[in-house]
Structure 1
Amino acid sequence: MNKTIIAGAILAAGAGAVIMSQQDSTPSYNVLDYIPADTPLFAAQLEPFPLKNYIASAPRIIDPNEQQASDENAASTQPGASFLLSLIKSYEAGLTDADLLVKTFGLPDDVRAYFYTLGLLPVFKIEIANEQAFWDLLDKAELDSGFSHKAVKLQTISYRAYAISDPTDPVNAEVIVAIDKGLLTITFNSAHNEETLLASALGLTKAEHSIADSGKVEQIIKQHNFQQASVGFIDHVELIKGLTTQDGNQLATQLSTMQQKLGTGGYLEQIRTEQCASELATIAANWPRTVAGYTQLDITAKESTIGFSTVVESNNQVILNALTALRGFIPKYTSDVHNNVLAMGLGLDSSEFSHTLNTVWRDLQTPAFSCQPLAEIQTQISQSGDVVGMAGMSANFTNGLQGVSAGLLDYSISKKGNKAQLDSLDALFTISADTPEQLFNSAKMFLPALQHVQLTSGGEPIALNTIIPIPPEMKIDPKVAIKGNHLVIYSGDKGEKVANALASESLSKNGLFDLSFDFKKMVTPIITATELAGEEIPEEAMFLTEYDARMQLSIDTNQEGLIFKSEVNNKAPK
């Protein structure tokens, strides 16, 4: 397991993956004025993100041994890779010390940042508090690696250009690093880029039609109830326009120019036809954007909680109505991230399953496309009709089912001889249905062991080991019962408490999928058991015991589109 990647993902999720920036009340320089409204990809932080406190609240997940390995790798690689590894080493060191990271990289404690594209060209900007500290960081990496830059000036801005292509390559690809107006800019340049494009990336030329003027950012925040702190999007309409037209937007113009210079078309030529342009534009209009933003942002040096929502927008009411009808019931305990080890719930109205499958299957074949790549996809969908029919028929056996869920609430492990043994298990498995008694009685036809078992709502629980023999060394005594609209198998005092609480939870269509887990609670007993058994613990696993974090993930749908939500809670090491 690569801890560097995990660390980077965590930091990006909190501070850089999808962030937006709101300028001061009287800004002299608004980055949004330099971003074209037709940008296909945008992410920024409208309010300063408390980077220093977030890093302080995050678990320590970098160890000295991995940093030493980075040093050894840097010494044995090419200069460009050594340069990058030197920067990664500084980054890793900063993840264990918030003060060190902001000092080394010259960042402010609370930072604003932007990521967007000028057609194909990616541009990243982040606020810098100490310009010299950042240049010193790059100088040190150059000294460590022997990789050097070229000093260049464009109009009023001096920047560093780091070559990333072979000197004989006519493309002449470079990474551009510049600091101006308190902002660090990292972008790319090549022989294919016009000088005006680099000038736009460096903030020298305002966009003719900017995202600031379009009102797009404010509209997304209002429509999806995101916090003002952040917003991001992938514009599917602009992407399709760029791929299927000659000059419909900046992306299209750049691709056309590259096509002329390189003399190749390939797949691009297949979809740059009148039929494909029209049909793909229709699809994009039905699924116009993927948008994202914060729904919660509570960060201190001791604890942080970040809520994040991603919505795949849709105007296809046929599919949205079908998916909405499919939603089922998910119990409350599946989202109780602070009291569970691991819990998961699948909401599914089985009476709507067949109808939803057939509705989506038919919609994907309507209208019949003449664009060759789309027609081929439709042919494959059409040929899957038998599978769709069989899946729909199988749902009839579970008519009345509204959801399935399971939770591991707690467990403990100890040593017995030279082996680890399970001492306790608090868990439950739930089937939620309109009439769970009927569902249970239907199961008797397939499971002879259940023939003489009688369960009724509110009746006494039955020990599962009277139905299915359970080895005594497992030290568990699970019970099966019907609690209201829920058929429950549970174990342990905590499992019983949650099972009893289900009796008061009436069925409602409240979701499609929910998952919550606690890293530390999951990993610590397992590692303890491994140690008790005298087995060696992989170094990559040990750091997880210090990772005091909880996460909740969910998938749902409404009339806006498909919704993916997450919430991460971190606590600083004690």
Structure 2
Amino acid sequence: MKTFHARSLATAVFCATFLVGCSNESDTQTSAPTPSTPQSSVATTEGLLSYIPSSSPYFFASREVLSEKDALELIERSGYFRYLDEDLATLRDYRDQVNSSEEAMILDIALSIGKELTALKTLEDFHNAGLKPNAHSAIYGLGLVPVLRIELHDESAFETMIQRVLTDANLTPIKKRFEDIQYWSLGGSDEWPVELVLAIHEQQAIFTLLPSTADNDVLATLLGQIKPTDNLANNQVLAQLEQRHSFTPYGAGQVSSARLFSELSQPEHIASQALFNAVEMPALDAGECQQDIDRLIKRFPGLTIGMKEYGPDRFQMNTILETDSALAADLKTFAANVPGLGQADSLASIGLGLNLPVLIQTFQRYALEVQQAPFNCDDLQGINSMWADISDSLNNPMLLMSAPAITGLKLRIDSLFIQNYEPSGTGLLTLASPNAQGLLSMASSFVPQIAALGLSNNGEVKNLSPEMLPPGMPSVSAAMSSDALTVGFGIDTPAVISDALKAPSNSEPLMLYGHLTDHFYSALIPFAEQMSPFGDELSGNELSRYSSLYKNTELWIKADDYGLEIGFAVELK
């Protein structure tokens, strides 16, 4: 059996999303929906945002969308539909092995949806399926209950596509109607007290969860018949979020720690109340933990997500763990400058920039704070133990001795290949230090050959004698400045090492940065095929796919005024 890898799982989830509101039960009503005709969409930006309450514990929405042309180009260049047949073949293999009837039903739905998606090649194909390649969409919480809204091109065509999928998957939906909205549901039994719902209304597909004990007010709220008075369409919450973090209007959102915990402990929204009633669970009783929880919420007020770039050739998503101002200020002191860190100037690279003495001092201060004011809640005792362990680890003599000597490193891979059946390559290792001479002395105690180079901080490149190297190892050269040491492996041009030593740091200090290019994926293919070091999860075919799709991928961690940011960017071919 082929490996059921993450991409195939994503295929199943993506496909099944279209039909979360369907089941194999018989019709409960005979009424049919009123046929719709293509029309101007009412799911405009303001239309979608008007359903999202300003008090929502979580949301992600966009104020603008790409043009249909750019959206189609992005879909094509991202390769999702291009390789859908391969992913569906893997999914079919997995489907043949499952024993659970519920899992088999979900996979049947996913495969049927996938069959429809493989036919989407042109804008006309999307429209014939009732879809828009650049649809407005929003996901948000009505209390704890999630709602997903997606703009449609044509309700009738979308429903026709849904019916084809159901027939192919041998399923019959439960159709229900609330006022003028038709919807399908799955669940609502003693074993499954929450219904999965799909509704089609006003040129939108609406996906949500409906507690089986919910009354009409809850249903009307979830389906949008009752809109919140204070919503994202009539205030500047989303625009301000974009401005604060330099996000584009193509997508941004947040999770509020305070609002989320409030709904868990003292549910105010009628949807949250209905959910707790349906599952017959009491709301969370904070009790003696309330003060500790408030302490954590104050320190970590939420999570923010947004797109800083979004187009047919490149996109960038940033996730920010928001912290209080004191912790944010401390985090900003951790980053240290490392020559070349943040530059995608090779096959691949990975690097760290950390001011270890400052980091150790700060962590010791926080450990002392927790020791002096420990968390009292039984469920949070792990935090006390964690900080005690961190304090012990930071008192390691080797760490305390080496911390002042190094503030970061960057490993740069220039080439990667198999030579005489052995892995080989060329690249550079740069070590940053406030005292490069001290770093050289420390490094020499572990690698005596470095001392033989006789380096000084004038940047002169020197070569290590081949006699001092193990057989088969590429040439080694090095150069040193007052604040960095660069060692080259298999680099025959001294200027390459000099340039790496003098390379500027990123304009914003980074704690971590890494990148992978299409050439790196290509270089790994012989390793995967001949040496199989990565197993089935990273086969030659998979690497070839990545190489054909992704020109460059980047990942970084840095701190700003609002907390800790994790960034991810992809440049498409």
1:85 and 2:110 matched: yes
Structure 2 residue corresponding to 1:314, chosen from 323, 329, 335: 323
Q: Which runs of 5+ in 1 are unaligned?
A: 12-22
Q: TM-score, normalised by structure 1?
A: 0.81
State how many pairs are aligned.
533
Question: Is 1:93–1:101's contact at 8 Å kept on the other side of the alignment?
Answer: no
Question: Is 1:348–1:512's contact at 8 Å kept on the other side of the alignment?
Answer: yes
1:202 Cα offset (Å):
1.5
| Mapped partners of 1:527, 1:256: distance in 2 | 51
Q: How does 1:31-70 map onto structure 2 within 5 Å?
A: 31-49=48-66, 50-59=70-79, 62=83, 64=85, 66-70=87-91
Question: Is 2:525–2:543's contact at 8 Å kept on the other side of the alignment?
Answer: no
Structure 2 residue corresponding to 1:344, chosen from 350, 359, 371: 350
Aligned to 2:297: 284
1:387 and 2:405 matched: no
1:119 and 2:153 matched: no
Q: Judging changes above 3 Å, is the alpha-carbon distance between structure 1 residues 507 and 37 closer, same or farther for their aligned structure 2 residues?
A: closer
Aligned to 1:542: 541
Aligned to 2:8: 4
Aligned to 1:433: 433
| Mapped partners of 1:569, 1:493: distance in 2 | 28
Q: How does 1:21-40 map onto structure 2 within 5 Å?
A: 30-40=47-57
| Mapped partners of 1:439, 1:298: distance in 2 | 44
1:106 and 2:119 matched: no
CA deviation map 1:61-105 (0-9, x unaligned): 62645434545666787473254233442366268x465873564
| Mapped partners of 1:234, 1:358: distance in 2 | 30
Structure 1 residue corresponding to 2:245, chosen from 189, 209, 224: 224
Aligned to 1:499: 497
Read off the aligned partner of 2:310 and give its amino acid letter.
L
| Mapped partners of 2:322, 2:557: distance in 1 | 14
Secondary structure at the aligned position of 1:291 is classed as strand
Q: Judging changes above 3 Å, is the alpha-carbon distance between structure 1 residues 63 and 298 closer, same or farther for their aligned structure 2 residues?
A: closer
| Mapped partners of 1:421, 1:526: distance in 2 | 13
Structure 2 residue corresponding to 1:262, chosen from 275, 280, 283: 280
| Mapped partners of 1:90, 1:215: distance in 2 | 41
Secondary structure at the aligned position of 2:407 is classed as strand
CA deviation map 1:130-175 (0-9, x unaligned): 32332222212221222111121101111222x246xx63645432
Q: Which runs of 5+ in 2 are unaligned?
A: 16-39
CA deviation map 1:319-361 (0-9, x unaligned): 33332222112333x4333x42210110011331321221232
1:515 Cα offset (Å):
0.9
Aligned to 1:138: 162
Aligned to 1:335: 342
1:566 and 2:553 matched: no
Aligned to 2:366: 360
1:159 and 2:183 matched: yes
1:459 Cα offset (Å):
5.3
CA RMSD for the aligned pairs? 3.7
Q: Judging changes above 3 Å, is the alpha-carbon distance between structure 1 residues 219 and 431 closer, same or farther for their aligned structure 2 residues?
A: same
Aligned to 1:469: 469
1:177 Cα offset (Å):
1.5
Read off the aligned partner of 2:136 and give its amino acid letter.
R
Identity of aligned residues (%): 17
Q: How does 1:191-202 map onto structure 2 within 5 Å?
A: 191-202=212-223
Q: How does 1:182-261 map onto structure 2 within 5 Å?
A: 182-244=203-265, 246-248=266-268, 253-254=273-274, 257=277
Q: Judging changes above 3 Å, is the alpha-carbon distance between structure 1 residues 65 and 479 closer, same or farther for their aligned structure 2 residues?
A: same
Question: Is 1:478–1:490's contact at 8 Å kept on the other side of the alignment?
Answer: yes
1:482 and 2:490 matched: no
1:527 Cα offset (Å):
2.2
Structure 2 residue corresponding to 1:295, chosen from 264, 284, 308: 308
Secondary structure at the aligned position of 2:502 is classed as coil
1:48 Cα offset (Å):
1.4
Question: Is 2:41–2:151's contact at 8 Å kept on the other side of the alignment?
Answer: no
CA deviation map 1:296-323 (0-9, x unaligned): 1232xxxx10012111122140x33332
CA deviation map 1:477-512 (0-9, x unaligned): 121221452211113458854421134346788121
Question: Is 1:297–1:307's contact at 8 Å kept on the other side of the alignment?
Answer: yes
CA deviation map 1:41-72 (0-9, x unaligned): 20112111443221111236626454345456
| Mapped partners of 2:464, 2:280: distance in 1 | 70
1:405 Cα offset (Å):
1.0
Secondary structure at the aligned position of 1:229 is classed as coil
Q: Judging changes above 3 Å, is the alpha-carbon distance between structure 1 residues 52 and 561 closer, same or farther for their aligned structure 2 residues?
A: same
Question: Is 2:555–2:568's contact at 8 Å kept on the other side of the alignment?
Answer: yes
Q: Judging changes above 3 Å, is the alpha-carbon distance between structure 1 residues 435 and 146 closer, same or farther for their aligned structure 2 residues?
A: same
Q: Judging changes above 3 Å, is the alpha-carbon distance between structure 1 residues 397 and 72 closer, same or farther for their aligned structure 2 residues?
A: closer
Secondary structure at the aligned position of 2:233 is classed as helix
Question: Is 1:44–1:115's contact at 8 Å kept on the other side of the alignment?
Answer: yes
